[in-house]
Chain A
Amino acid sequence: MGVSILFFTSCEEPFDPPLYGDRNEVVVEAFIEWNPENNLPPYVILSRSFPFTAEIDPQFIGELFIEDAEVRLSGGGKEVLLTSFCVEDLPPPIREEVGAQLGIDSFFVNLCLYIDIQRDLEVQPGETYQLEIEVEERKFQSLTTIPRPVPLDSLWAAPVPDPKADSLAQLFLRLSDPAGPDYYRYFTSVDGGALIPPLTSVTDDNIFDGQQFNVSILKAEPRGSEIDPATFGYFKRGSSVVLKWCTLDEDQFNFWETLEFSRNNQGPFSSYTLVSYNIEGEDGIGIFGGQSCYYYSILIPMEL
């Protein structure tokens, strides 16, 4: 009834927030991944913060990227200077592959990033890596450790509870969680689309530490798509699905946990939540995260 009263009586209208001067944060999105195929080089995206009232179109976003920084990664006895490039510089097939890996469906935006293009840095679970960034005489740094990988025991498709919805399926996985703290995140891709995370993509293992169990996973919905409560999180039968299943370092878990909580809880009963960063340096925000991932492909049968 509470919900229905709120639904029937509440109303919303645009609100003009107070204006603030430009903030001057440097935003770091840096990831270093181990996976069995070793097919994703470490990469770093640097951008600037901007006012709430800005017109955020692809050109504006393109101008936010910082292209002239010096970005170094070190670990395992090696140090590499990452190479800066923008996706418009790449031939279209490679561009699409990069997009699919980074979770970007389309390239309205000329994304610029720094990458270990020669794969000089050897990425190994348990190894600690250091990131150093210099932007216009401002210095930022961070550390991360690649967590132990935890593969799935199995992945399968099953019918959804409503017997009439015979064109839909849900995916289940079986996990044997090793003893000790682990932090998980997953992404899904359907029919060759980008690998994208669901709205709540991370979990720790505090309540299932060391256990073996089955759990269903949700199909991640592309941003801006309409959410249909009847089909939300389900997959279409006949579709080809890739599940990217990762363990994260604790800092990266905290980053996504706080960011997703902050995004999903803008409501009457919550106050603001600050995102937990691990970037050192004045006005440096963002994340340098280590992860170990497995990629699983499954073709969902028409008959289940």
Chain B
Amino acid sequence: MTEAESGEAIIGGNITVSQMPGVGTTTNSYGYYSITLAGGDYTLIFSYIGFENKRVDVNLEDDIKLDIELGLGIDMEEVVVTGEDEDENVSRTSMGVINLNMEQVSRLPVIFGELDVLKTIQLLPGVLSAGEGFSGFHVRGGGADQNLVLLDEATVYNSGHLLGFISVFNSDAIKNTTLIKGGMPPEYGGRISSVLDIQMKEGNNRKFQAEGGIGLIASRLTLQGPILKEKTSFLISGRRTYLFDLAQPLLKGGNFEGTNYYFYDVNAKVNYRFSDRDKVFFSAYFGRDILDFVSGNRGFRFQMPYGNRTATLRWNRTFGNKMFKNTSLIYNDYQFDFEGQQEEFKFALKSGIRDYTLKTDFDFFPDAAHHLKWGYSISHHKLSPNQASGSTGDAEFDSAQKPEYALQGGVYLQNDWKISNRLNLLVGLRYSFFNHIGPYPGEEGEDPLIRGESVVWYDAFEPRASLNYRLNSQTSVKAGYARTNQYLHLVSSSTSTLPTDIWVPSTRLIPPQTGDQYSLGLFRNFFNNTYEASVEVYYRDLSNQLEYSETYTPSLADRLEDEFEVGKGRAYGVEWFLNKRKGDLTGWIAYTFSVAERKFDEINGGEYFPASYDRRHDLAVVGTYSLNERIDLGATFVFGSGQNYTPIEGLYLINGFPAEIYGQRNSAQLPAYHRLDFSLVLNPRKETGEGRFRSYWTFAVYNVYSRKNPLFIYPSYEEDASTGAIKSEAFQVSLFPILPSITWNFKFN
């Protein structure tokens, strides 16, 4: 199933049979579908939100192949919150799955005027922001590293530009975003909390298009079009910031001349259909943040580039009419470099992670009751922790850190089984393994292990299941269980994704993280699927969680695996979600009550403590309103319990100056967080809107009532040199007051 205007595959498109209520299927990630029916006459209905339904009469005597194009809906009130089927909320077997439609994302208010899919998912139930303005997120009491973030199947290890304030995902290049926070299907592995699966657009194979925008801090441009009509098309999309470039003349001649910061990223994709049954895609992402700092007076300069690179080559093939195969070859890396110089002292630091992955997935539809999926994946990891080197005059230094290598893989089988019209069961099993391989220094009394030698082997069976029982056409009850394993870890002493964050493999000292999630939910739609509502409860058991020891200080020479404490965790909560999908006014209310706790023998005296992202109450109210043909309004209001912190219970003097005695970990709370944002989209007049060139304006106000939300607090001690008195005070730091932004967007067909 494809979009008529662009030829893009429709993901999650719906196929139902008019004569057989309750029988149907959905398209997969490549727009492919298969449905098995007994011989006879049927009317098939093809639908996708935002598009016109298509009815096709078929006379089934033999297998047939039906390629369907859907045109945009005439009645644009159909543009709704999610890009899924109307009653998907009730009918889908799996739990905790949310698809985000970019059309909706584009009408919500955003900070700096930069659309950001990672900020939008923070407004969903069960998803917490990593902090004011940050694109990092926590799902159901899990750490930020426990989310599997995929861009066209390639793992993105660091999803933040600009210290995490802006995500690396350029929304112009994104077609579809799926967040799986509940019962992770067996096809996904390697993380224990959630999957954020982002798919890039394929490129319009019907006509050439250019679109872009100019914002306060960045501009962007996307080109797409056919290379060979109907056969091959391309998309290339880029953006770059320029705020500091504009400031360059002010720095000229000064101490900081040459200092600059910018980021850019490029998404590119081409596809080629070389037969009715075969299609190949190549997609790539390249992004860099670059900070150059120069202090001429001090003879000091450094350059700090960092970013991700991904490339995915995919081959889709259909076998007969019931089987679909996708094979992908994937490369991805994240690299952080720092090169500094002060006079004759030079210093360089490199860290990163690089993967090669091969995976194949099969979809098989043997009959109307079963949708089988199976496949395998295997990855080779190269992890380079802090590799420091330096020189001063004739001396050279080198940290003892060497790259670490690992093989990771998995095989899985799952079946989405329609047991009856009321009962669906999605059941599956994933077997995963991880092999940390040398070189490895070895333990005392052991010879160092050479490259390729096995250091440690871990494997695990990961059963997953979800059950959907339909009470009636509008209501269902679902239950889910998922066991997940995680073999790569990122332990951060910060609350956000920082460029310096380092991924480490499971080793002899670091066992794999394991998560068990149990969930139960009630799903109900009202008023012809205009409103959808759900309540979900979950409990998670987490083992082998990692934290730095309480006396950890970063050192380039440390072997990170020696610095971790291993413990366990638990998380539970309840999520309410009410979503209005149709009409001039759309939007949702999401409220989550949740608890996330951790327990380590060597931290907090071995007692359970709340995780730093344990925020008991979290509310988001999101709305967009189509005032008239020219004006769309949007608003979001968020309210959340304040961030936990570890309080200072007392002071003592060392060398006459105060030092802190801390209380129980994360036992105090900052004041509550709340904020209101507005947006206004000014669409082109109808007469200009019909031409080949369209442009529109987006105005947004972040933090309308300028709430001073505390991001953190810090103690301060001021010594009066004339009296010897020391004043101890605490301060709270708030980041963003009211911030207006304006963006001009255009589209050329």
Contact = CB atoms under 8 A, between A and B. Distances in A.
B296 interface: yes
A224 B494 CA distance: 28
Contact of A273 (B398, B550, B713): B550
A61 B717 CA distance: 14
Given A18-B668, A54-B728, A57-B724, A230 B719 contact: no
A224 B243 contact: no
Interface size class of B (residues with CB under 8 A): 35 or more
Given A15-B730, A50-B651, A266-B714, A56 B708 contact: no
A67 interface: no
B663 to A, nearest CB: 7
Given A56-B658, A161-B299, A272 B646 contact: yes
Contact of A50 (B390, B396, B652, B657): B652
A25 B299 contact: no
Contacts of B647: 17-18, 20
A51 interface: yes
B551 A276 contact: yes
B165 interface: yes
Interface in A98-118: 103-104, 106, 108-109, 111
A23 B650 contact: yes
Given A15-B710, A207-B398, A213-B395, A49 B651 contact: yes
B253 to A, nearest CB: 13
B661 A23 contact: yes
A264 B273 CA distance: 59
Interface in B289-338: 296-300
Contact of B241 (A1, A108, A216): A1
Interface size class of A (residues with CB under 8 A): 35 or more
A266 B296 CA distance: 28
Interface in B694-735: 708, 710-715, 718-721, 723-735
Contacts of B398: 207
A109 B724 contact: yes
A302 B730 CA distance: 44
Interface stretch (A5-13, A32-40, A88-96, A119-127): A5-13
A261 interface: yes
A138 B724 CA distance: 31
Interface in B238-263: 241, 243-244, 255, 261-262
Contacts of B657: 223
B43 interface: no
Interface in A233-284: 254, 257-259, 261-263, 266-276
A2 interface: yes
Given A1-B217, A56-B658, A224 B718 contact: yes
B551 A254 contact: yes
A267 B163 CA distance: 14
A2 B650 contact: no
Given A4-B244, A61-B656, A108-B723, A272 B662 contact: yes
B280 interface: no
A165 B498 CA distance: 36
A58 B553 CA distance: 32
B716 to A, nearest CB: 8
Contacts of B652: 25, 27, 47-50, 285-286
A222 interface: yes
A4 B557 CA distance: 32
Contact of B297 (A53, A161, A222): A161
Given A214-B392, A257-B553, A52 B651 contact: yes
A204 B494 contact: no
B66 interface: no
Residue from B395, B708, B737 with most neighbouring chain A CB atoms (10 Å): B395
B493 A270 contact: yes
Interface in B331-371: 342-345
Given A11-B708, A162-B296, A257-B553, A50 B496 contact: no
Interface in A149-172: 160-162, 165
Contacts of B552: 273
A215 B392 contact: yes
A18 B658 CA distance: 18
Nearest to B726: A56
Contacts of B297: 160-162, 165, 230
A20 B663 contact: yes
A1 B659 contact: no
B659 A262 contact: yes
Residue from B496, B708, B729 with most neighbouring chain A CB atoms (10 Å): B729
B459 to A, nearest CB: 34
A269 B649 contact: no
B655 A29 contact: yes
A211 interface: yes
Interface in B549-592: 550-553, 555-557
A14 B731 contact: yes
7 contacts: A14-B729, A14-B730, A57-B725, A111-B656, A206-B557, A269-B493, A273-B550
Interface of A: 1-6, 9-18, 20, 22-23, 25, 27, 29, 47-58, 61, 64, 103-104, 106, 108-109, 111, 160-162, 165, 204, 206-208, 211-216, 222-225, 230, 254, 257-259, 261-263, 266-276, 285-286
Nearest 6 pairs of A and B residues by beta carbon: A108-B724, A161-B299, A206-B557, A213-B395, A23-B650, A224-B719
Given A270-B493, A273-B553, 14 more contacts: A2-B261, A10-B711, A22-B650, A47-B653, A52-B649, A56-B726, A111-B656, A206-B556, A206-B557, A208-B395, A213-B394, A214-B392, A267-B714, A271-B493
